[in-house]
């Protein structure tokens, strides 16, 4: 009789967004006349920009002619896209990243998950708490997280680094030495950013203890402050210890198109002297058949002059929404964090409510959906995440409603 990988069976059953979905569905079935405003899931709401749509159409047309037809793409990504990424994201900032250090993917989620495959199971993982759940769950699935302890909502073999009001939502260097450190800034869910000097401390630490940093930079486009790095490679020595993940989802609105990339510098070496770049190339060659030509052409269009302007405008639209939420909630007496370099606002639940109590309260009284902070980890208890992804009208209406909740 076949057996399943028991690491899958160990995952706790109730997934945050599935729970939210169930509650919202039950509410809307019971109250079909009520308009629900959704500021929960981090999914964009604005349509694709004209430059991207044109590139999608043109690339589809290429596929219709024998002379310009494309079959299997390169597993590491088309050179035209990797070159555009290098020029616009790295060389433009004075950073020396080359095309063969870029691996194109179908969005950051796949690689933030698959990267856990290339490290030894003996490696110890450190994550922020609260955390984007994929880092922990995928390490659990490959057997690196130990056992799930329901009472503490933690895995026995993961180092959790609490990010709380006391430390301004920035992790402190762990007392137990990790081998793999996941950092995500600007952060999901807290919306808080890290300064270049603060990130340098992590890079220095990783080099000292021989750890690798997996830096999730999915929200880079939302950075507004000068002292916040757009790439971890702005820190000295990061090319020897850090992998960077990027996505087209939240800047160019590609959540439904699917495109991202991972930077694996050639200078990173394991304890045995293996090149991580070569190991990752091997992983991709074995497990991945590349991203469709049409989608990669759309990604290239994001870096055209028109594409850059349209992308900036789209991000500015969400940034403005974030500002409206922060200002509105602060005026209404809420304590809010984030929203300055991020589309996420992390607010403190009022009157000592738990995160889920506040969720139920907002859903039932004013029909606004957010995300309970405790769903991202125990240190998220007492907090609530709102996103800037919606129309201006809905954001304004949601704020008025929350003020009266």
Q: Which residues bind ligand PLP (CB under 6 A)?
A: 42, 107-109, 112, 132, 184, 188, 216, 218, 247, 249, 255, 260
The least distance separating ligand PLP from the CB of residue 184, rounded to whole angstroms, comes to 5
Choice between 216 and 310, CB closer to ligand PLP: 216
Choice between 318 and 366, CB closer to ligand PLP: 318
The least distance separating ligand PLP from the CB of residue 256, rounded to whole angstroms, comes to 9
The least distance separating ligand PLP from the CB of residue 292, rounded to whole angstroms, comes to 15
The least distance separating ligand PLP from the CB of residue 218, rounded to whole angstroms, comes to 4
Choice between 112 and 239, CB closer to ligand PLP: 112
The least distance separating ligand PLP from the CB of residue 7, rounded to whole angstroms, comes to 21
Choice between 89 and 216, CB closer to ligand PLP: 216
Choice between 189 and 328, CB closer to ligand PLP: 189
Choice between 188 and 355, CB closer to ligand PLP: 188
The least distance separating ligand PLP from the CB of residue 297, rounded to whole angstroms, comes to 18
**Which residue lies nearest ligand PLP, judged by its C-beta?**
107
- Helix pair 50-63, 305-331: axis angle to 10 deg: 140
């Amino acid at each position: 009789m076949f057996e399943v990988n028991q690491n899958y069976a160990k995952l706790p059953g109730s997934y945050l967004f599935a729970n939210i979905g169930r509650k919202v569905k039950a509410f809307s079935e019971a109250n079909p006349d009520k308009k629900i405003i959704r500021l929960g899931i981090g999914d964009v709401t604005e349509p694709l920009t004209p430059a991207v749509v044109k590139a999608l159409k043109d690339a589809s047309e290429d596929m219709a002619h024998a002379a310009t037809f494309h079959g299997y793409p390169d597993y590491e990504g088309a050179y035209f896209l990797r070159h555009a990424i290098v020029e616009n994201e790295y060389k433009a900032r004075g950073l020396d990243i080359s095309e063969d250090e870029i691996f194109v993917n179908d969005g950051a989620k796949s690689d933030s998950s698959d990267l856990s495959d290339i490290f030894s199971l003996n490696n110890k993982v450190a994550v922020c708490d609260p955390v984007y759940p994929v880092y922990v769950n995928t390490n659990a699935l490959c057997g690196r997280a130990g056992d799930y302890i329901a009472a503490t909502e933690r895995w026995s073999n993961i180092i959790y680094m609490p990010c709380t009001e006391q430390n301004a939502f920035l992790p402190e260097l762990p007392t137990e030495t990790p081998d793999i450190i996941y950092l995500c800034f600007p952060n999901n869910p807290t919306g808080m950013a890290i300064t270049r000097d603060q990130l340098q401390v992590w890079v220095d630490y990783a080099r000292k203890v021989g750890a690798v940093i997996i830096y999730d930079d999915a929200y880079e486009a939302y950075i507004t402050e000068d002292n916040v790095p757009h790439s971890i490679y702005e820190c000295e020595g990061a090319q020897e210890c850090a992998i960077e993940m990027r996505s087209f989802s939240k800047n160019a609105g590609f959540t439904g198109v699917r495109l991202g990339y991972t930077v694996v510098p050639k200078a990173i070496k394991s304890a045995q002297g293996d090149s991580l770049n070569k190991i990752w190339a091997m992983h991709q060659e074995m497990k991945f058949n590349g991203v469709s030509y049409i989608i990669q052409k759309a990604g290239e269009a994001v870096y055209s002059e028109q594409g850059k302007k349209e992308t900036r405008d789209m991000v500015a639209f969400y940034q403005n929404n974030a500002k409206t939420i922060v200002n509105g909630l602060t005026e209404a007496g809420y304590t809010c964090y984030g929203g300055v370099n991020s589309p996420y606002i992390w607010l403190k639940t009022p009157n000592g409510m738990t995160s889920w109590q506040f969720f139920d309260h907002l859903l039932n009284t004013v029909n606004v959906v957010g995300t309970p902070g405790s769903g991202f980890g125990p240190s998220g208890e007492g907090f609530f995440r709102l996103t800037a992804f919606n129309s201006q009208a809905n954001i304004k209406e949601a704020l008025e409603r929350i003020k009266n909740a």
